[in-house]
Structures are given as C-alpha cells and as structure tokens.
Amino acid sequence: MSAEPLTYADTDAMDLKQKQAAYHDWEAASYEEKFSISYDERCIEYAVDRLRKVVPADATFERVLEVGAGTGFFTINLALGGALEGATLEATDISQGMLDVCERNGREHGLAITTTQGDAEALPYEDGSFDLVIGHAFIHHLPVPGKAIQEMYRVLAPGGRLVIAGEPTHYGDRISHLVKHNTWRVFMGVTRLPGLSSWRKPSSGSHTEDRDAVLAALEDQVDLHTFRPDDVEHMAKLAGFGEVEVVTEELTANWFGWSVRTIEASVRPGLLGPRWAFFAFDNYKRLTALDEKVLRRFVPRGLFYNLILHARKPA
C-alpha cells in the first residue's frame, strides 16, 4: 500500500468502485481485529451454521468461489469446519490488500486459496466454472446487488449453488444504528460520573486531513445497505435461479452484539478482560436462541438484521 499523501478532494474524485478498493485496501490490516475475526471454534461454528441453514450436510463441492472474500473469513472457517472437503478454493475481491491477507491466512491454515482481484459485477471467471459460489457481508457494498447476482449465476455450473450470508437488511441496519448511538450516549453519560472518566478510551487527538482520516471517512460511502429480503429474492429469480430462499436471522442478538462492540470501541484498552468476552459470547448465543426459537414466529423477517440467500441454478 502506498503511503502517498491523500486528501478529501482525491477521494471525492473517485468513483464508487475506486472508493471500495481504496477503503478496503486501507482497512485490510485492521479488519480482522475490528470485527473480532478468528479461525477457531467460535468462527468455524458460525460459518458452518450459516451454510447448514440452507445447504444439506451431505452436499459436496469440487470448485468453490468466494466473491467479496475480504481476508478469507468465510471460506477458511468453512474449510476448517470440514464443509468444503476436497474442493479447490478460489477467492476474489475488489481489494488486492484484502486478498493478500486472505492468501496469507489460507497458507497459515494449510489451505491453498487462489485469489484473483476483480469486480463482483464483472467476475474474472469463465461461465460455469464453480459448483458453489459463496459470499459473506459484501453485497451491502453494492448499490444494486442484482448485477453481481447475475454474474454469480453465470460462473456457476448447472445445478450449482449460491450462498450469501451475513448481509445486513435495510431495516435491520437502521435499527442497529439506533442501538449503537444510544449505547454510546449511555456510555458517555455513565463515564461522566465521578471516578469513571478513566474508563473512556483516550482521545487520539484530531487529525483532519491525514491519510488515515481521509480513508476512514470513506466508511459511510462504501456501506450502502439498500435492500430488503424480498428485493434480494426477486433479484435472484430475475438472474435465472430456480430454487430461491432468503432466511433472516439475529434480532435481539444483534442489538446486544452492537452494544457490546460499541462499548468495546469506547473503553480504555485493557479494561475489559476475558470475563467480558465470555459474558458477551454467552449472552449473544442465548439471545440467538431466543430469536430463532421464539421471536422468529412473530416478528416480520425484514426487521431481523442479517439475511442468508440460497439459490440454485437449474440443472
């Protein structure tokens, strides 16, 4: 990554795809820490559960592609969980910085992942090259995901499956903003009490136009969140997919998760110890069970935070 000076005028002049690449190249080094990404039981269970929600456990794959793969979180954890046994693994992303980390992560876990930098809306692969195409937390970066879904359809072989998980829904995302904002306000209020101000993370000072600040400011421009579950279902059908299913998940678990992440981002480093991590993970799992077993029956699916799209190309 170049360390040349960059100004707000430079990023204003970029088109959306250049912004996506610049922001994610910059974010690649800190991305996994920011989202608590790991390659262990916790994330393996998460990844495999997402796949198993929509694809039966006896399905096998020979050629797997992840689009918008980032640092390889989804592919690597699925492979470590045995869900991609024997398959060749490919990954593409608009950000070369992310793919460099992805390849390195793959190597560290004994996986050969072939990476090719490219745009999801013009995938650099031949028609019918894969029998499973996956994605995680990336179509919310596309203004209209329909074009990328058409491309994923094109590169799938007949009978192939598409699984895209971890995608924030339109209303789910709006609710999460309220949760984050209110958690932050409560935290700031509590830490104004006598003796508690030391809980706050020390300010890093103001830097108006340094390279990091300019790139960090792109975050609001690259996170688009413009779809509802019905829209995604419709786009998959329009692309030609036969079986199409959209499952939504995480309601209270997500509100809790964003509160936890907001507090973690606001407190002095080192203040929250392993007991906090246990508290957070344990309660997240309990609330996930509440969402799945109870609330799913009453609450409209569009209010849940995440969606999983599963679609199958006709054989």
Ligand X SMILES: C[S@@+](CC[C@H](N)C(=O)[O-])C[C@H]1O[C@@H](n2cnc3c(N)ncnc32)[C@H](O)[C@@H]1O
- List interacting residues with ligand X (CB under 6 A): 17, 20, 24, 68-70, 73-74, 93-95, 98, 119-121, 136-138, 141-142, 166
Q: Which is nearer to ligand X, 199 or 284 (CB)?
A: 284
Distance CA 231, CA 88 (A): 31
Residue of this chain nearest to ligand X (CB atom): 70
Q: Look up tokens 């995938």; give the residue.
A: 123
User: Could you tell me the smallest distance in angstroms from the CB atom of residue 159 to ligand X?
Assistant: 24
Distance CA 256, CA 23 (A): 27
H helical segments located in the chain: 8-12, 16-27, 31-34, 41-54, 73-80, 96-108, 146-155, 170-190, 211-216, 219-222, 229-239, 252-266, 274-293
Instruction: Give the H/E segment covering residue 309.
Output: strand 306-312
User: Could you tell me the smallest distance in angstroms from the CB atom of residue 247 to ligand X?
Assistant: 17
Q: Which is nearer to ligand X, 78 or 214 (CB)?
A: 78
Are 312 and 165 in contact by the 8 Å Cβ rule? The answer is no
Q: Which is nearer to ligand X, 142 or 309 (CB)?
A: 142
DSSP symbols for 210-260? SHHHHHHTTHHHH------HHHHHHHHHHHT-SEEEEEEE-SHHHHHHHHH
Q: Which is nearer to ligand X, 39 or 138 (CB)?
A: 138
The separation between the first and the last C-alpha atoms of the chain, rounded to the nearest angstrom, is 43
Q: Which is nearer to ligand X, 74 or 304 (CB)?
A: 74
Q: Which is nearer to ligand X, 120 or 149 (CB)?
A: 120
- Among residues 177, 128, 117, the alpha carbon closest in space to that of 151 is found at 128
User: Could you tell me the smallest distance in angstroms from the CB atom of residue 26 to ligand X?
Assistant: 10
User: Could you tell me the smallest distance in angstroms from the CB atom of residue 225 to ligand X?
Assistant: 11
User: Could you tell me the smallest distance in angstroms from the CB atom of residue 15 to ligand X?
Assistant: 11
User: Could you tell me the smallest distance in angstroms from the CB atom of residue 223 to ligand X?
Assistant: 8
